[in-house]
Amino acid sequence: MDKEVFKDINYGMYIVSAKDENKVGCVINTLTQITSENPTISISVNKDNYTNQIINNTKKFIVSILSEQIDPNIISKFGFQSSRNVDKFKDIDYEIVDDIPVLLKDVCGYMVCDVIEEVDVGTHTLFIAKVSKAKKVSNLAPMTYKYYHEVIKGKAPKTAPTYIEEVKTNTWVCDICGYVHEGPVPDDFICPICGVDASHFKQKK
């Protein structure tokens, strides 16, 4: 199977958030609008993500639509760290909507969603949800998965449904945010996306 073909599927970039006693959230890129009348969407979240557990328990989540202007550190924090260990909402702009934290800076808008069905798809859960509220926050251009890869030079974490293992090349990848550096990494190199040092760079497969 030539998995490269999957890279031609068009995706957006989103942060899905939820809350019980903790505020949680993660980056996703698999959101689909299913209906426009009584709007319904679906999202896919890895079972290893703490956010999956909270959505499963509360049956409610919010999706923030990321723009091309979003701080890459936000993607790094929500995409490569766990809400089990980190308060991802610390030191960022957010508001509480229907008791759930939602990002408002450099996003296009958000949707408040109530889960109506869950589908087990192996490594992930497909959450099908009714949109109870929606708000457009800005006219900024929404970030696509292609933009994330080609402009920001970010990579998908292994928990992402779009993750594809690659063969090693003469490039090095930050193990925190996925930034790709061509050629050997100097000892004094600092990642331009998340600010970690050269020890966090691993040779790309």
Q: How far apart are CA 67 and CA 103, in angstroms?
A: 11
Q: What is the pLDDT of residues 120-165, one digit of tens each?
A: 999 999 999 999 999 999 999 999 888 777 776 554 544 454 444 5
- Looking at residue 184, its pLDDT comes to 85
CATH of the domain at 62: 2.30.110.10
Same domain, 19 and 89: yes
Tell me, yes or no, whether 126 and 36 share the same domain. yes
Same domain? 197 vs 129: no
Residue position matching structure tokens 């929500």: 78
- Asked if residues 54 and 101 have their Cβ atoms less than 8 Å apart, the reply is no
Q: What is the pLDDT of residue 157?
A: 46
Task: Write out the DSSP string of 37-87.
Answer: TTTEEEEEEETTSHHHHHHHHH-EEEEEEEBTTS-HHHHHHHHHS-TTT--
Q: How does residue 79 score in pLDDT terms, banded at 50, 70 and 90? A: confident
Residue 2 lies in a domain: no
The model's pTM is: 0.73
Domain end, chosen from 98, 113, 147, is at 147
Q: Is the pLDDT of residue 167 over 60?
A: no
The pLDDT value recorded for residue 2 is: 64
Mean pLDDT of the chain: 87
